[in-house]
């Protein structure tokens, strides 16, 4: 069976690529620290030597809109075009073309349905920055096939936080039941406290540093039950109007498992958000 070699959760700041490719004299003051931390974070995936990446993200109303909004969707294509025009224009992101693993996608879809998740699918999915940004930070060569899984964190009615955790647990079971000997990393991206277009968007830190502190503690310690006891769809409005992206972090906690302490934890405060990076090695660092 396939082996789960790494579980990785991170934020997906769209300006990292532009920041890291500017000439040094044009980079903002926080660039050096940010780039250094990303380089260290990248090494946590490299050392796991994955063959395929199961990528969890959320479409930012690029391909999925209110005329047809799935709660959970699996991409099932041989190749994925990536990044959209506005992401090229606003963030300076490059156009990308990413290989897919159709057999793995089909396994996730079929077995996921049988496990109680009515997953949607797309054979013509185009990827946005929720998936390309972690590829740029973690695997800039973009040389590994992906299995994209999109969640709905934007368009109510949203799934409950516990459903994200349940899906994370199911994804792990599906990965570990995939026939073959592939080494698999599950990579998911979300948000801590985040405000978009509101009065708290451009502060010196994220809009709710106390929420960020608690969130990092929940994730790093694997405290799923403590997190579920405090986090609700209503409560996630309080730290910032886009904080429902934290549920993708909760999904990744489900993949890692209750009480699983992260093997790698790092954060960096930027001008309007805290970026956070976590890695778990399910069989321990010594197994790599």
Q: What are phi and psi of 243, to 5 degrees?
A: -80, -10
**Nearest residue to 4 (alpha-carbon basis) of 259, 254, 273, 212:** 254
- Residue 21: how many CB atoms within 10 A of its CB? 11
| CA distances for 196 relative to 77, 102, 127, 280, angstroms | 32, 35, 21, 30
Task: State the Cα–Cα distance between residues 42 and 40, nearest whole angstrom.
Answer: 5
pLDDT score of 244:
97
Query: Domains of the chain by range and CATH?
Result: 3-280 (3.40.830.10)
- Three-class DSSP category at 7: strand
- CB 214 within 8 Å of CB 36: no
Q: SS in 3 state form for 162-191?
A: HHHHHHHHHHHHHHHCCCCCCEEEEEEEEC
10-residue mean pLDDT profile of the chain (288 residues): values are 97 93 93 96 98 97 92 98 91 95 98 97 95 97 98 97 98 98 97 90 88 98 98 97 97 98 96 93 87
Q: Which residues face 148 on adjacent strands?
A: 55
| CA distances for 79 relative to 96, 99, 124, 171, 273, angstroms | 10, 4, 9, 21, 32
pLDDT score of 19:
94
Task: State the Cα–Cα distance between residues 154 and 101, nearest whole angstrom.
Answer: 27
Helix axes 161-176 and 246-256, enclosed angle (nearest 10) = 40
- Three-class DSSP category at 85: helix
Burial class (CB in 10 A: 0-12, 13-18, 19+), 231: buried
pLDDT score of 199:
85
User: In angstroms, how far is CA 240 from the centroid of its own chain?
Assistant: 19
Task: State the Cα–Cα distance between residues 120 and 20, nearest whole angstrom.
Answer: 36
CA atoms within a 13 Å half-sphere pointing along the CA-CB vector of 235: 11
Task: State the Cα–Cα distance between residues 158 and 58, nearest whole angstrom.
Answer: 12
Burial class (CB in 10 A: 0-12, 13-18, 19+), 128: buried
- CB 194 within 8 Å of CB 242: yes
Q: Say if pTM beats, i.e. exceeds, 0.85.
A: yes
- CB 260 within 8 Å of CB 222: yes
Burial class (CB in 10 A: 0-12, 13-18, 19+), 183: middle
- CB 243 within 8 Å of CB 196: no
| CA distances for 22 relative to 28, 229, 275, angstroms | 9, 43, 20
């Amino acid at each position: 069976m396939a082996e789960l070699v790494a579980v990785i959760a991170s934020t997906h700041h769209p300006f990292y690529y532009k920041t890291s490719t500017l000439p040094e004299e044009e980079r903002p003051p926080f660039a050096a620290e940010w780039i250094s931390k990303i380089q260290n974070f990248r090494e946590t995936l490299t050392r796991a030597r994955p063959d395929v990446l199961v990528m969890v993200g959320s479409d930012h109303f690029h391909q999925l809109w209110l005329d047809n909004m799935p709660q959970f969707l699996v991409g099932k294509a041989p190749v994925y075009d990536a990044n959209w025009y506005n992401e090229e224009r606003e963030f300076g992101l490059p156009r990308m073309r990413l290989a897919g693993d159709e057999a793995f996608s089909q396994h996730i879809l079929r077995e996921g349905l049988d496990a109680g998740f009515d997953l949607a699918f797309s054979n013509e999915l185009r990827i946005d920055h929720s998936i390309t940004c972690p590829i740029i930070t973690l695997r800039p060569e973009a040389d590994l096939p992906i299995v994209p899984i999109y969640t709905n964190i934007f368009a109510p009615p949203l799934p409950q936080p516990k459903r994200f955790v349940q899906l994370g647990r199911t994804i792990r079971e599906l990965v570990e039941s995939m026939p073959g000997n592939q080494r698999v990393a599950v990579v998911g991206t979300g948000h801590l406290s985040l405000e978009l277009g509101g009065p708290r968007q451009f502060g010196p830190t994220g809009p709710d540093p106390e929420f960020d502190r608690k969130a990092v503690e929940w994730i790093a310690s694997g405290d799923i039950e403590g997190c579920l006891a405090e986090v609700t769809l209503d409560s996630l409005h309080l730290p910032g109007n886009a904080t429902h992206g934290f549920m993708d972090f909760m999904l990744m906690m489900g993949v890692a498992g209750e009480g699983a302490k992260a093997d790698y934890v790092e954060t960096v405060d930027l001008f309007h958000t805290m970026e956070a990076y976590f890695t778990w090695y399910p069989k321990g660092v010594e197994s790599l």
